[in-house]
Structure 1
Amino acid sequence: MVFDLQQQHSTLCYYVQNVFDVAEINTRLQNHSRIEKPEELLEMFPLFYSIVIHFDKVSITGRDQAVEMLLQLISLEMIDVQRQIHRDLSIDDRRFHLNIIKMLSCLIAEYIIRFDNDQTNKSLDVDMPPSKKRKKAKASKTNEKSSLTSDSLRDKCLKGLCDIIRSHIKPLWDPSIIDEQFVKCVTKPCYHLIRRTDIAKNPIVKENLPLILTIMINKFEHAR
Protein backbone atom coordinates (compact mmCIF):
# COMPACT_ATOMS: atom_id res chain seq x y z
CA MET A 1 0.00 0.00 0.00
CA VAL A 2 1.36 3.41 -0.96
CA PHE A 3 0.83 5.85 1.89
CA ASP A 4 0.77 9.02 -0.22
CA LEU A 5 -2.93 8.48 -0.70
CA GLN A 6 -3.74 11.93 -2.03
CA GLN A 7 -2.44 10.75 -5.41
CA GLN A 8 -4.21 7.91 -7.17
CA HIS A 9 -1.17 5.78 -7.99
CA SER A 10 -3.11 2.77 -9.26
CA THR A 11 -6.38 0.91 -8.87
CA LEU A 12 -4.67 -1.31 -6.25
CA CYS A 13 -4.17 1.61 -3.86
CA TYR A 14 -6.78 3.03 -1.54
CA TYR A 15 -7.38 6.60 -2.69
CA VAL A 16 -8.35 9.41 -0.30
CA GLN A 17 -10.06 12.05 -2.35
CA ASN A 18 -10.67 14.61 0.40
CA VAL A 19 -8.30 15.33 3.29
CA PHE A 20 -10.10 17.00 6.20
CA ASP A 21 -8.75 20.13 7.83
CA VAL A 22 -8.10 20.25 11.58
CA ALA A 23 -11.50 21.77 12.40
CA GLU A 24 -13.28 19.00 10.50
CA ILE A 25 -11.08 16.36 12.15
CA ASN A 26 -12.04 17.65 15.60
CA THR A 27 -15.72 17.74 14.69
CA ARG A 28 -15.69 14.18 13.38
CA LEU A 29 -13.82 12.91 16.42
CA GLN A 30 -16.33 14.55 18.76
CA ASN A 31 -19.35 13.24 16.86
CA HIS A 32 -18.20 9.70 16.21
CA SER A 33 -20.56 7.00 17.38
CA ARG A 34 -19.77 3.64 18.92
CA ILE A 35 -17.78 1.38 16.59
CA GLU A 36 -19.55 -1.93 16.12
CA LYS A 37 -18.10 -3.53 12.97
CA PRO A 38 -14.60 -3.56 11.44
CA GLU A 39 -15.94 -2.56 8.02
CA GLU A 40 -16.68 0.87 9.47
CA LEU A 41 -13.00 1.53 8.78
CA LEU A 42 -13.83 1.96 5.09
CA GLU A 43 -15.87 5.05 5.93
CA MET A 44 -13.53 6.28 8.67
CA PHE A 45 -10.25 5.83 6.82
CA PRO A 46 -10.15 9.41 5.44
CA LEU A 47 -10.40 10.71 9.03
CA PHE A 48 -7.47 8.61 10.23
CA TYR A 49 -5.45 9.53 7.16
CA SER A 50 -6.23 13.24 7.60
CA ILE A 51 -4.82 13.01 11.13
CA VAL A 52 -1.58 11.66 9.65
CA ILE A 53 -1.40 14.63 7.27
CA HIS A 54 -2.10 17.20 10.01
CA PHE A 55 -0.50 15.22 12.81
CA ASP A 56 1.38 18.07 14.50
CA LYS A 57 -1.72 20.28 14.45
CA VAL A 58 -4.11 17.74 15.98
CA SER A 59 -4.27 17.90 19.77
CA ILE A 60 -2.84 15.10 21.88
CA THR A 61 -6.35 14.32 23.12
CA GLY A 62 -7.59 14.11 19.54
CA ARG A 63 -4.76 11.78 18.60
CA ASP A 64 -5.47 9.68 21.69
CA GLN A 65 -9.10 9.35 20.65
CA ALA A 66 -8.07 8.31 17.15
CA VAL A 67 -5.74 5.66 18.58
CA GLU A 68 -8.51 4.24 20.78
CA MET A 69 -10.80 4.06 17.75
CA LEU A 70 -8.13 2.27 15.72
CA LEU A 71 -7.51 -0.20 18.54
CA GLN A 72 -11.25 -0.94 18.71
CA LEU A 73 -11.28 -1.62 14.98
CA ILE A 74 -8.24 -3.89 15.29
CA SER A 75 -9.87 -5.85 18.09
CA LEU A 76 -13.14 -6.25 16.17
CA GLU A 77 -11.38 -7.31 12.97
CA MET A 78 -9.11 -9.82 14.70
CA ILE A 79 -12.09 -11.43 16.44
CA ASP A 80 -14.06 -11.52 13.20
CA VAL A 81 -11.28 -12.87 11.01
CA GLN A 82 -10.23 -15.54 13.53
CA ARG A 83 -13.82 -16.76 13.62
CA GLN A 84 -14.08 -17.01 9.85
CA ILE A 85 -10.59 -17.92 8.68
CA HIS A 86 -11.03 -21.63 9.36
CA ARG A 87 -14.06 -21.70 7.09
CA ASP A 88 -13.86 -21.93 3.34
CA LEU A 89 -13.79 -18.19 2.70
CA SER A 90 -14.76 -16.97 -0.73
CA ILE A 91 -12.24 -14.97 -2.73
CA ASP A 92 -14.24 -11.81 -2.08
CA ASP A 93 -14.42 -12.42 1.69
CA ARG A 94 -10.72 -13.15 1.87
CA ARG A 95 -9.91 -10.02 -0.11
CA PHE A 96 -12.21 -7.96 2.12
CA HIS A 97 -10.48 -9.05 5.34
CA LEU A 98 -7.07 -8.66 3.77
CA ASN A 99 -7.83 -5.09 2.76
CA ILE A 100 -9.09 -4.21 6.24
CA ILE A 101 -5.98 -5.71 7.85
CA LYS A 102 -3.65 -3.91 5.44
CA MET A 103 -5.38 -0.58 6.00
CA LEU A 104 -5.26 -0.96 9.79
CA SER A 105 -1.62 -2.06 9.69
CA CYS A 106 -0.51 0.85 7.52
CA LEU A 107 -2.35 3.39 9.65
CA ILE A 108 -1.10 2.09 12.99
CA ALA A 109 2.45 1.74 11.62
CA GLU A 110 2.42 5.33 10.41
CA TYR A 111 1.07 6.53 13.76
CA ILE A 112 3.95 4.77 15.54
CA ILE A 113 6.49 6.74 13.51
CA ARG A 114 4.63 10.03 13.90
CA PHE A 115 4.29 9.65 17.66
CA ASP A 116 7.94 8.71 18.00
CA ASN A 117 8.98 11.75 15.99
CA ASP A 118 6.81 14.04 18.04
CA GLN A 119 9.01 16.02 20.40
CA THR A 120 6.30 17.91 22.23
CA ASN A 121 4.98 15.10 24.46
CA LYS A 122 2.41 17.43 25.93
CA SER A 123 0.48 15.92 28.81
CA LEU A 124 -2.65 17.92 28.05
CA ASP A 125 -3.78 19.91 25.04
CA VAL A 126 -6.72 22.29 25.13
CA ASP A 127 -6.94 22.95 21.40
CA MET A 128 -9.68 20.38 20.94
CA PRO A 129 -12.99 21.27 22.64
CA PRO A 130 -14.43 18.46 24.78
CA SER A 131 -17.14 16.24 23.33
CA LYS A 132 -20.53 15.88 24.99
CA LYS A 133 -19.42 12.68 26.67
CA ARG A 134 -16.24 14.32 27.94
CA LYS A 135 -18.22 17.21 29.42
CA LYS A 136 -20.21 14.76 31.51
CA ALA A 137 -17.16 12.81 32.60
CA LYS A 138 -15.29 13.73 35.74
CA ALA A 139 -12.02 15.60 35.36
CA SER A 140 -9.01 13.31 35.17
CA LYS A 141 -6.48 13.32 37.95
CA THR A 142 -3.23 15.15 37.33
CA ASN A 143 -1.16 11.97 37.22
CA GLU A 144 -3.57 10.46 34.69
CA LYS A 145 -3.21 13.51 32.45
CA SER A 146 0.55 13.36 32.61
CA SER A 147 0.45 9.79 31.27
CA LEU A 148 -1.04 11.01 27.99
CA THR A 149 2.13 11.51 25.97
CA SER A 150 3.31 10.74 22.48
CA ASP A 151 5.50 7.97 23.88
CA SER A 152 2.58 6.27 25.62
CA LEU A 153 0.42 6.52 22.49
CA ARG A 154 3.29 5.17 20.37
CA ASP A 155 3.50 2.17 22.68
CA LYS A 156 -0.26 1.57 22.42
CA CYS A 157 0.03 1.59 18.64
CA LEU A 158 2.99 -0.80 18.72
CA LYS A 159 0.98 -3.25 20.83
CA GLY A 160 -1.91 -2.89 18.39
CA LEU A 161 0.35 -3.66 15.43
CA CYS A 162 1.71 -6.69 17.28
CA ASP A 163 -1.85 -7.89 17.95
CA ILE A 164 -2.47 -7.89 14.20
CA ILE A 165 0.75 -9.64 13.23
CA ARG A 166 0.59 -12.34 15.89
CA SER A 167 -2.95 -13.28 14.85
CA HIS A 168 -3.60 -16.13 12.44
CA ILE A 169 -3.88 -14.00 9.29
CA LYS A 170 -1.33 -15.57 6.93
CA PRO A 171 -3.93 -17.87 5.26
CA LEU A 172 -5.60 -14.76 3.85
CA TRP A 173 -2.74 -14.46 1.37
CA ASP A 174 -2.18 -16.76 -1.56
CA PRO A 175 0.62 -19.15 -0.45
CA SER A 176 2.66 -18.34 -3.56
CA ILE A 177 2.60 -14.58 -2.97
CA ILE A 178 5.10 -12.61 -0.90
CA ASP A 179 3.41 -9.31 -0.12
CA GLU A 180 6.45 -7.04 -0.10
CA GLN A 181 4.40 -3.87 0.37
CA PHE A 182 2.75 -5.26 3.49
CA VAL A 183 6.09 -6.46 4.87
CA LYS A 184 7.65 -3.06 4.26
CA CYS A 185 4.69 -1.29 5.86
CA VAL A 186 4.89 -3.40 9.05
CA THR A 187 8.67 -3.45 9.44
CA LYS A 188 9.20 0.25 8.71
CA PRO A 189 8.27 1.46 12.24
CA CYS A 190 10.31 -1.38 13.76
CA TYR A 191 13.51 -0.26 12.08
CA HIS A 192 12.62 3.32 12.87
CA LEU A 193 12.53 2.48 16.58
CA ILE A 194 15.65 0.30 16.47
CA ARG A 195 17.70 3.35 15.49
CA ARG A 196 17.03 4.87 18.92
CA THR A 197 19.75 3.96 21.38
CA ASP A 198 17.45 4.36 24.40
CA ILE A 199 14.55 2.31 23.05
CA ALA A 200 15.73 -0.99 24.56
CA LYS A 201 14.90 0.40 28.01
CA ASN A 202 11.22 0.57 27.13
CA PRO A 203 9.55 -2.71 28.26
CA ILE A 204 6.66 -2.48 25.77
CA VAL A 205 8.99 -1.90 22.84
CA LYS A 206 11.37 -4.56 24.12
CA GLU A 207 8.55 -7.12 24.21
CA ASN A 208 6.65 -6.30 21.01
CA LEU A 209 9.25 -5.11 18.50
CA PRO A 210 11.33 -8.33 18.34
CA LEU A 211 8.14 -10.39 18.17
CA ILE A 212 6.87 -8.44 15.16
CA LEU A 213 10.16 -8.84 13.31
CA THR A 214 10.38 -12.54 14.18
CA ILE A 215 6.90 -13.21 12.81
CA MET A 216 7.61 -11.19 9.67
CA ILE A 217 10.77 -13.24 9.07
CA ASN A 218 9.24 -16.64 9.81
CA LYS A 219 5.81 -16.22 8.23
CA PHE A 220 6.20 -13.46 5.66
CA GLU A 221 9.75 -14.24 4.49
CA HIS A 222 11.14 -10.85 5.46
CA ALA A 223 14.92 -10.46 4.98
CA ARG A 224 15.28 -13.81 3.22
Structure 2
Amino acid sequence: MSVRNSEVETNGWTTFDVPNQFEDLQKQLATGSYYVQNVLDLADINTRLQNISRIREPKELLEMFPFFYSIAIHFDKVAITGRSQAVEILLRLTASEMSEAQRRIHIGLSADDRRFHLNIVKMLSCLLAEYIIRFDNDQTNKSSDFDMPAPKKGKKVKEAETGGKSSLTSDALRDKCLKGLCDILRSHIKPLWDSSIIDEQFVKSVTKPCYHLLRRQDIAKNPIVKENLPLILTIMINKFEHA
Protein backbone atom coordinates (compact mmCIF):
# COMPACT_ATOMS: atom_id res chain seq x y z
CA MET A 1 0.00 0.00 0.00
CA SER A 2 1.39 3.41 -0.96
CA VAL A 3 1.85 6.22 1.53
CA ARG A 4 -0.85 8.28 -0.16
CA ASN A 5 -3.26 5.37 -0.17
CA SER A 6 -2.64 4.56 3.49
CA GLU A 7 -3.23 8.20 4.50
CA VAL A 8 -6.81 7.75 3.36
CA GLU A 9 -7.54 4.12 4.12
CA THR A 10 -6.31 4.29 7.72
CA ASN A 11 -9.26 6.62 8.30
CA GLY A 12 -11.66 3.98 6.99
CA TRP A 13 -12.57 5.63 3.69
CA THR A 14 -11.17 5.81 0.18
CA THR A 15 -13.40 8.21 -1.77
CA PHE A 16 -14.82 11.67 -1.20
CA ASP A 17 -18.23 11.68 -2.86
CA VAL A 18 -19.85 15.09 -3.25
CA PRO A 19 -23.36 14.81 -1.73
CA ASN A 20 -26.66 16.18 -2.99
CA GLN A 21 -26.94 18.32 0.13
CA PHE A 22 -23.99 19.65 2.12
CA GLU A 23 -25.49 18.33 5.37
CA ASP A 24 -25.54 14.80 3.90
CA LEU A 25 -21.79 14.61 4.55
CA GLN A 26 -22.66 13.80 8.15
CA LYS A 27 -23.67 10.27 7.15
CA GLN A 28 -21.90 7.61 5.13
CA LEU A 29 -23.80 7.18 1.89
CA ALA A 30 -21.75 4.28 0.51
CA THR A 31 -19.13 1.82 1.69
CA GLY A 32 -15.71 3.47 1.66
CA SER A 33 -17.18 6.94 1.16
CA TYR A 34 -16.00 9.80 3.35
CA TYR A 35 -18.31 11.32 5.94
CA VAL A 36 -17.93 13.73 8.85
CA GLN A 37 -18.25 11.64 11.98
CA ASN A 38 -18.25 14.54 14.44
CA VAL A 39 -19.32 18.13 13.83
CA LEU A 40 -17.29 20.39 16.10
CA ASP A 41 -19.11 22.72 18.47
CA LEU A 42 -18.40 26.44 18.53
CA ALA A 43 -15.93 26.18 21.43
CA ASP A 44 -13.85 23.57 19.58
CA ILE A 45 -13.92 25.66 16.41
CA ASN A 46 -12.65 28.73 18.24
CA THR A 47 -9.90 26.70 19.90
CA ARG A 48 -8.71 25.26 16.61
CA LEU A 49 -8.79 28.66 14.96
CA GLN A 50 -5.91 29.62 17.23
CA ASN A 51 -3.69 27.02 15.54
CA ILE A 52 -5.10 27.14 12.02
CA SER A 53 -2.03 28.89 10.61
CA ARG A 54 -0.09 25.65 11.11
CA ILE A 55 -1.97 24.02 8.24
CA ARG A 56 0.44 24.11 5.31
CA GLU A 57 0.05 21.01 3.15
CA PRO A 58 -3.04 20.10 1.09
CA LYS A 59 -2.89 16.54 2.45
CA GLU A 60 -3.71 17.96 5.89
CA LEU A 61 -7.21 18.66 4.59
CA LEU A 62 -7.89 14.92 4.74
CA GLU A 63 -7.75 15.25 8.53
CA MET A 64 -8.91 18.86 8.91
CA PHE A 65 -11.98 18.72 6.68
CA PRO A 66 -14.38 18.36 9.68
CA PHE A 67 -13.04 21.66 11.04
CA PHE A 68 -13.85 23.60 7.86
CA TYR A 69 -17.12 21.70 7.50
CA SER A 70 -18.14 22.59 11.06
CA ILE A 71 -17.53 26.28 10.35
CA ALA A 72 -20.06 26.05 7.53
CA ILE A 73 -22.58 24.28 9.77
CA HIS A 74 -22.21 26.92 12.51
CA PHE A 75 -21.59 29.69 9.99
CA ASP A 76 -23.67 32.47 11.55
CA LYS A 77 -22.20 31.83 15.00
CA VAL A 78 -18.53 31.90 13.95
CA ALA A 79 -17.03 35.40 14.04
CA ILE A 80 -16.30 36.85 10.62
CA THR A 81 -12.62 37.09 11.57
CA GLY A 82 -12.62 33.34 12.16
CA ARG A 83 -14.36 32.69 8.87
CA SER A 84 -11.82 34.93 7.17
CA GLN A 85 -8.98 32.88 8.66
CA ALA A 86 -10.57 29.71 7.34
CA VAL A 87 -10.96 31.20 3.86
CA GLU A 88 -7.32 32.30 3.72
CA ILE A 89 -6.15 28.80 4.66
CA LEU A 90 -8.44 27.18 2.09
CA LEU A 91 -7.15 29.51 -0.62
CA ARG A 92 -3.56 28.77 0.37
CA LEU A 93 -4.24 25.03 0.19
CA THR A 94 -6.01 25.50 -3.14
CA ALA A 95 -3.03 27.25 -4.71
CA SER A 96 -0.64 24.61 -3.40
CA GLU A 97 -2.83 21.69 -4.47
CA MET A 98 -3.42 23.01 -7.98
CA SER A 99 0.31 23.41 -8.47
CA GLU A 100 1.14 19.94 -7.16
CA ALA A 101 -1.75 18.17 -8.90
CA GLN A 102 -0.86 19.63 -12.28
CA ARG A 103 2.79 18.72 -11.76
CA ARG A 104 1.82 15.14 -10.95
CA ILE A 105 -0.53 14.97 -13.94
CA HIS A 106 2.30 16.17 -16.20
CA ILE A 107 4.76 13.49 -15.07
CA GLY A 108 2.15 10.74 -14.81
CA LEU A 109 -0.31 9.62 -12.15
CA SER A 110 -0.61 6.27 -10.46
CA ALA A 111 -4.11 5.14 -9.51
CA ASP A 112 -3.41 6.04 -5.88
CA ASP A 113 -2.07 9.49 -6.79
CA ARG A 114 -5.09 10.18 -8.96
CA ARG A 115 -7.53 9.26 -6.21
CA PHE A 116 -5.51 11.14 -3.58
CA HIS A 117 -5.52 14.43 -5.51
CA LEU A 118 -9.11 14.01 -6.69
CA ASN A 119 -10.30 13.67 -3.10
CA ILE A 120 -8.52 16.89 -2.12
CA VAL A 121 -9.79 18.79 -5.17
CA LYS A 122 -13.35 17.69 -4.41
CA MET A 123 -13.01 18.64 -0.74
CA LEU A 124 -11.70 22.10 -1.56
CA SER A 125 -14.35 22.67 -4.23
CA CYS A 126 -17.17 21.48 -1.99
CA LEU A 127 -16.11 23.78 0.86
CA LEU A 128 -15.54 26.85 -1.31
CA ALA A 129 -18.86 26.37 -3.11
CA GLU A 130 -20.74 26.11 0.18
CA TYR A 131 -18.91 29.08 1.70
CA ILE A 132 -19.88 31.22 -1.32
CA ILE A 133 -23.57 30.60 -0.70
CA ARG A 134 -23.36 31.06 3.05
CA PHE A 135 -21.36 34.27 2.79
CA ASP A 136 -23.86 35.60 0.27
CA ASN A 137 -26.76 34.73 2.59
CA ASP A 138 -25.07 36.32 5.60
CA GLN A 139 -26.95 39.49 6.49
CA THR A 140 -24.88 40.42 9.55
CA ASN A 141 -21.69 41.54 7.85
CA LYS A 142 -23.01 42.76 4.52
CA SER A 143 -21.59 45.73 2.69
CA SER A 144 -24.12 48.39 1.73
CA ASP A 145 -23.92 47.55 -1.97
CA PHE A 146 -23.09 44.37 -3.85
CA ASP A 147 -19.52 44.85 -2.64
CA MET A 148 -18.00 47.07 -5.25
CA PRO A 149 -14.24 46.79 -4.62
CA ALA A 150 -13.09 50.06 -3.08
CA PRO A 151 -10.00 51.92 -4.29
CA LYS A 152 -6.85 51.19 -2.32
CA LYS A 153 -6.25 53.56 0.55
CA GLY A 154 -3.69 54.02 3.26
CA LYS A 155 -4.06 52.14 6.52
CA LYS A 156 -4.76 55.30 8.54
CA VAL A 157 -7.50 56.39 6.15
CA LYS A 158 -9.14 52.97 6.35
CA GLU A 159 -9.02 52.94 10.14
CA ALA A 160 -10.50 56.44 10.31
CA GLU A 161 -13.39 55.45 8.04
CA THR A 162 -14.16 52.27 9.97
CA GLY A 163 -13.56 53.66 13.44
CA GLY A 164 -10.58 51.35 13.86
CA LYS A 165 -12.77 48.28 13.36
CA SER A 166 -12.31 45.50 10.83
CA SER A 167 -13.57 46.31 7.35
CA LEU A 168 -14.19 42.63 6.60
CA THR A 169 -17.46 41.93 4.85
CA SER A 170 -19.17 38.69 3.94
CA ASP A 171 -19.37 39.93 0.33
CA ALA A 172 -15.60 40.35 0.09
CA LEU A 173 -15.02 36.86 1.50
CA ARG A 174 -17.64 35.43 -0.85
CA ASP A 175 -15.76 36.93 -3.77
CA LYS A 176 -12.47 35.41 -2.59
CA CYS A 177 -14.09 31.98 -2.43
CA LEU A 178 -15.62 32.43 -5.88
CA LYS A 179 -12.25 33.31 -7.36
CA GLY A 180 -10.66 30.34 -5.57
CA LEU A 181 -13.28 27.98 -6.99
CA CYS A 182 -12.70 29.43 -10.44
CA ASP A 183 -8.95 28.89 -10.06
CA ILE A 184 -9.57 25.21 -9.36
CA LEU A 185 -11.74 24.74 -12.44
CA ARG A 186 -9.36 26.67 -14.67
CA SER A 187 -6.59 24.26 -13.73
CA HIS A 188 -5.87 21.08 -15.68
CA ILE A 189 -7.72 18.72 -13.32
CA LYS A 190 -9.91 16.70 -15.68
CA PRO A 191 -7.40 13.78 -15.87
CA LEU A 192 -7.95 13.21 -12.14
CA TRP A 193 -11.28 11.57 -12.97
CA ASP A 194 -11.26 8.00 -14.20
CA SER A 195 -11.62 8.10 -17.99
CA SER A 196 -11.89 11.90 -17.57
CA ILE A 197 -15.63 11.55 -16.94
CA ILE A 198 -16.68 14.19 -14.41
CA ASP A 199 -19.26 12.97 -11.90
CA GLU A 200 -22.58 14.78 -11.95
CA GLN A 201 -22.55 15.57 -8.23
CA PHE A 202 -19.29 17.50 -8.55
CA VAL A 203 -20.80 19.51 -11.39
CA LYS A 204 -23.89 20.31 -9.32
CA SER A 205 -21.74 21.33 -6.37
CA VAL A 206 -19.57 23.84 -8.24
CA THR A 207 -22.38 25.32 -10.33
CA LYS A 208 -24.85 25.66 -7.44
CA PRO A 209 -23.30 28.90 -6.10
CA CYS A 210 -23.26 30.31 -9.63
CA TYR A 211 -26.99 29.83 -10.09
CA HIS A 212 -27.49 31.14 -6.57
CA LEU A 213 -25.70 34.38 -7.45
CA LEU A 214 -27.45 34.68 -10.81
CA ARG A 215 -30.67 35.31 -8.91
CA ARG A 216 -29.18 38.57 -7.67
CA GLN A 217 -30.51 41.49 -9.67
CA ASP A 218 -27.45 43.57 -8.81
CA ILE A 219 -24.93 41.00 -10.01
CA ALA A 220 -23.61 43.23 -12.81
CA LYS A 221 -22.32 45.73 -10.24
CA ASN A 222 -19.59 43.43 -8.97
CA PRO A 223 -16.59 43.01 -11.31
CA ILE A 224 -15.21 39.95 -9.48
CA VAL A 225 -18.49 38.07 -9.69
CA LYS A 226 -19.11 39.35 -13.21
CA GLU A 227 -15.76 37.94 -14.35
CA ASN A 228 -15.58 34.63 -12.48
CA LEU A 229 -19.19 33.43 -12.48
CA PRO A 230 -19.62 33.24 -16.29
CA LEU A 231 -16.13 31.78 -16.56
CA ILE A 232 -17.02 28.90 -14.23
CA LEU A 233 -20.14 28.08 -16.24
CA THR A 234 -18.23 28.37 -19.52
CA ILE A 235 -15.53 25.99 -18.26
CA MET A 236 -18.15 23.48 -17.12
CA ILE A 237 -19.72 23.54 -20.58
CA ASN A 238 -16.63 23.66 -22.79
CA LYS A 239 -14.04 21.74 -20.77
CA PHE A 240 -16.16 19.40 -18.66
CA GLU A 241 -19.09 19.13 -21.10
CA HIS A 242 -21.64 19.93 -18.41
CA ALA A 243 -23.80 22.91 -17.54
Q: TM-score, normalised by structure 1?
A: 0.87
Shift of 1:20: 0.6
Shift of 1:155: 0.3
| Contact 2:142 2:171 (C-alpha < 8 Å) held by counterparts | no
Deviations 1:70-100 (A, max 9, x none): 1111011011112111122101100110110
Which residue does the alignment assign to 1:141?
159
In the superposition, relative to structure 1, how do residues 85 and 176 fare at CA in structure 2: closer, same or farther (>3 Å)? closer
* Structure 2 residue 225 is matched with structure 1 residue 200: no
* Match of residue 189, structure 2, among 169, 179, 192: 169
* Structure 2 residue 92 is matched with structure 1 residue 51: no
Q: CA RMSD in A?
A: 1.7
Amino acid in the other structure paired with 1:26: N
List runs of 5+ in structure 2 lacking aligned partners.
Answer: 1-17, 144-157
| Contact 2:131 2:177 (C-alpha < 8 Å) held by counterparts | yes
* Structure 2 residue 106 is matched with structure 1 residue 86: yes
Amino acid in the other structure paired with 2:74: H
In the superposition, relative to structure 1, how do residues 13 and 147 fare at CA in structure 2: closer, same or farther (>3 Å)? farther
Q: TM-score, normalised by structure 2?
A: 0.81
**Which residues of 2 match residues 171-190 of structure 1 at below 5 A?**
171-175=191-195, 177-190=197-210
| Contact 1:19 1:50 (C-alpha < 8 Å) held by counterparts | yes
| Contact 1:7 1:15 (C-alpha < 8 Å) held by counterparts | yes
**Which residues of 2 match residues 201-220 of structure 1 at below 5 A?**
201-220=221-240
* Structure 2 residue 27 is matched with structure 1 residue 7: yes
Shift of 1:173: 1.4
Q: Which moved more, 1:30-39 or 1:201-210?
A: 30-39
Q: Distance in 1 between matches of 2:63 and 2:196?
A: 31
Q: Distance in 2 between matches of 1:48 and 1:34?
A: 14
Q: Distance in 2 between matches of 1:193 and 1:149?
A: 17
Shift of 1:109: 0.1
| Contact 1:162 1:212 (C-alpha < 8 Å) held by counterparts | yes
Which residue does the alignment assign to 1:157?
177
| Contact 2:190 2:196 (C-alpha < 8 Å) held by counterparts | no
Shift of 1:219: 1.4
List runs of 5+ in structure 1 lacking aligned partners.
Answer: 124-139
* Match of residue 106, structure 1, among 126, 129, 134: 126
